[in-house]
Amino acid sequence: MQLEKMLEMNRLLSFYGDLLSPRQREFMKDYYEEDFTLQEIAENNEISRQAVSDSIRKAEQSLQDFEAKLNNVADFKVRRCLLHTLTEYVKKTYPNDLKLQQLVENVIQNKSITGEE
């Protein structure tokens, strides 16, 4: 399995996995996160290897369709890059402003003003 595809599918699964059927989600996690073979998944679920392959292929397509419509992963990457740039700017420009640095860190950690999630 190609590393790039594995990373892409894991990202999509983390964003949209709950939109898949429980069985598709289970197969995708087994295949992409646990690195099980199609045969191992088939044997564990007492179904054919082809049924597992079809389910994973359909789940992959669903995840890609969700991203094409919703763009959550792409938006996340942009926000992460912007937050990294902001963090570096704050550290460089305001090295003594610990309050500002903490506020930026809270934004990165997705915490509220009080520091609670």
At 25, list the tokens: 């989600």
Per CATH, domain 3-70 is 1.10.390.10: no
Residue 8: pLDDT over 80: yes
pTM to 2 decimal places? 0.78
Q: Which residue has the tokens 């894991």?
A: 10
Report the phi/psi class of residue 110: left, alpha or beta, with left for phi > 0 and alpha for psi in -120 to 50: left
Q: Are the C-beta atoms of 32 and 9 separated by less than 8 Å?
A: yes
Every domain of the chain and the residues it spans: 3-70, 74-108
Using a pLDDT cut of 90, give the percent of the chain over it. 83
